[in-house]
Chains A and B, each alone.
Chain A
Amino acid sequence: MTLEAFADTIVPGEKRSPDDRAVAGASPGGGAVAAGAIELLETPATGVSTVLDDYARMLNEHARTHATEHGLGLDETVPPFVALPFEDRTAVVRKLTGQDQEDRELWVLLALFSNMAFDTAAHMHTADAMAAGHPGLVTMGFMKADDDGLWRFPDFSYGRRLADPHPDTTPTGSPA
């Protein structure tokens, strides 16, 4: 639940149900969680799948510190990071990925995979993700492949000269 809330801070989405606590509902349409961020993080190929519990523990420690510093009360029935309002989750993530954070690379990595789940569906074959209406690829308007699963765009060019070439271009087409 904690890492869902983190992924939802990177690419926010709408709540999956009215009582969804991890997803804050800050943006219409599916976000990183609906896109499969947790499935991706749990994929051994990422290299982070074995340390997710550590990530969640550290994130909740940072959330508790943030709450204390800002005098925020936390709902103890959910993990501290999940208990934070979206704006405060965002503030924690900004701090963790900021220039002054010693272990920022760890948090950038977590953000990177959260982002990849949404923008590339890296835990799925892209053809399957497209067929399933993957929320990230759909949001981006990623265009469909041909029936054989390969992309081809026979229409790709305006087909006319749109600028004058540089006057010093050499006969081989390079800068002089």
Chain B
Amino acid sequence: MSSTESTDVLIVGSGFGGAIAAYHLAAGGAKVTVLERGPWLEADDFDHDFLLGSSYTRIFDFVVGDGMSLLGGNCVGGGSVVYFAAMPRAPRFAFERKGSIGRRMWPSAITRDSLDPWYDRVVEALPITQQDWNDVTYSGGLFAAACDHAGRTANPVPAAIDRAKCTNCNWMMAGCRFDAKRSLLLNYLPAALAHGAEIRPLHEVQHLSRTDDGGYRVHYNVIDDTDYRVHVGNGTIDAKIVILAAGAGATPVILQRSEATLGAMPHAVGRYFSGNGERLNTAVVNEDRARELLGLKRGDGQAFRANQIGKGPVVASWDNLDGDLPEHSRFSLEQLYFPPGFGTILAQVPDATGPSWFGVEKKELVRQWQSWLTVFTMVEDDNEGVFGPPPATGNAARISQQMLGRGTIRYRPSANTLRGWAESDAVVKDILERDGLARVMPWTNDVVGAYTVHPLASCRIGDDPQTSALDDRQELRNHPGIFVTDGSAVPAALTVNPALTISALAERAIPGIVKTLQERGVKVTYGAPSPDGSTSGRRGVRSQLRDLVRE
């Protein structure tokens, strides 16, 4: 029998929650080991190719559940490598939500004001920049002009994109070939490595058990680098503390599977999952109307026909982000691009006489693909998702070699969520069908259920032990020394893209984690600058540190 390795901090997952923790704790002096279930790719490995086995199937995961499908990253850098890099802060009212539990879901310690300095840290680190109208793509511009035509406002969205390097290739989901997307591969992760952190790709954590000294033993499988259904080894590592950042679709599954060895989990583990209220509509734009109504010209005689060109979402409309409106009636709209495959199969034919998502009429819709404009909606859902018993390994029974699996989540949208989708669909229709600009239909939920690219809340923070799995320092209730820093900690839908909020919470959790490590005898300090050495973000959070390291 081989001896078990040991480390100070074992981090599960290398997306935002894992990478931020890895950097700060390694920089502070702790021995940090990161286990990432996906492969480790860098810019030259990111293919512009739809062939199965290219980077987009290697680094992307599509888990089909019962009524909800989850899309997420599966690689070193996690979601940051595959996402579209839209990075707005959550609106003030999102933190005050009560949802279906009748009391504020967020911990009392966290408001937009108290989180703003942590947002600032992430903005400095990635960095995130404001886009201007010269950065706005044709599809974003079309959406903005349509909003304006409908009497609405529209904003260029803050983004983690280096504008000088971006080629507007729209292959973001396959990883950025040009290092224009400011993923974690360019900031927190190299800084963590420079401070001695170790990252092991293709290591999928299965469960945790306890060690005699109050720490944890982490049990993992090693995954084949081509066929993710195949395990080529396994092992264990002992750690003084564990940080789970496997994503909202996987973190609760690891904890569920650990119940046999760790004992009962808080009730909220694997419950209260939110799909961030996500919804998509696809419009087919009438070229002539775009030219006549909106005055749009590309300079080559075309008004639009540019669905393929761009960099994901660049323009959002925030008129319905009004804190005076009731919950579930508040939402943002964002112009978006999904590559074909994901981005085509669920789109529906307006006024179809036959099937709406396949068949003769659908082919005619696809024939107009360059005239498509996709609009992404984020409403407030009702935290309806519940995870069933964990699968044999991982977070899904893998169907294909890569990418596609069957998960255990069950999601039945409540009347509130359905109302939010119906109200937002009506607004999208009003904007885009006004004066004959386009025809629009929501994507069908009848094929793979609802879907989300931003899974949240399956192991959430809160003040109420009955409805939250983590305390406001993101430590798992009744299991000291286990922290959760990924999207599963966010208590509820945010009405905007959540990556910046997930990251800000992870930044905020670090002082408390450092304190816990110190109590467990690790020589570690808090106070690293931004990964590039900048320090203004660090100054901004100083006033909150005392509260975050309380006994």
- Residues of chain A having any CB pair with chain B under 8 Å: 9-12, 26-27, 31, 40, 43-48, 90, 93-94, 97-99, 105, 108-109, 111-112, 115-116, 118-127, 129, 136, 139-143, 145, 149-170, 172-176
Contacts and interface: CB of A to CB of B under 8 A. Distances in A.
Interface stretch (B75-83, B162-170, B528-536): B162-170
A45 B52 contact: yes
Contacts of B406: 105
Given A139-B366, A162-B144, A175-B89, A123 B52 contact: yes
Given A9-B358, A27-B363, A152-B168, A159 B134 contact: yes
17 contacts: A27-B360, A45-B53, A108-B447, A120-B340, A124-B51, A140-B366, A141-B305, A152-B169, A156-B309, A156-B310, A162-B154, A166-B154, A173-B155, A174-B88, A174-B89, A175-B90, A175-B321
B452 interface: no
B498 to A, nearest CB: 13
Interface string B293-322: 010111110000110111000010111010
B400 A139 contact: no
Given A46-B52, A167-B153, A162 B158 contact: no
Interface in B146-163: 147-148, 152-158
Contacts of B51: 121-126
Interface stretch (B135-143, B274-282, B415-423, B461-469): B135-143
A162 B136 contact: yes
A164 B167 contact: no
B177 interface: yes
Contacts of A142: 308, 340, 369
B278 to A, nearest CB: 17
B368 to A, nearest CB: 8
A43 B344 contact: no
A109 B399 contact: yes
B46 to A, nearest CB: 10
Nearest to B130: A173
Nearest to A46: B400
Contact of B354 (A90, A127, A172, A176): A90
B167 A140 contact: no
B370 interface: yes
B91 interface: yes
Among all A-B residue pairs, the 9 with the closest Cβ atoms: A163-B154, A174-B89, A120-B50, A152-B167, A163-B148, A119-B340, A173-B130, A162-B144, A140-B369
A165 B154 contact: yes
A108 B66 CA distance: 13
A89 B402 CA distance: 31
Contacts of A150: 48, 167, 169, 177
A176 B91 contact: yes
Interface string B119-145: 100010000001101111110010011
B354 to A, nearest CB: 6
Nearest to B120: A172
A166 B360 contact: no
Interface string B394-420: 000011111010100000000000000
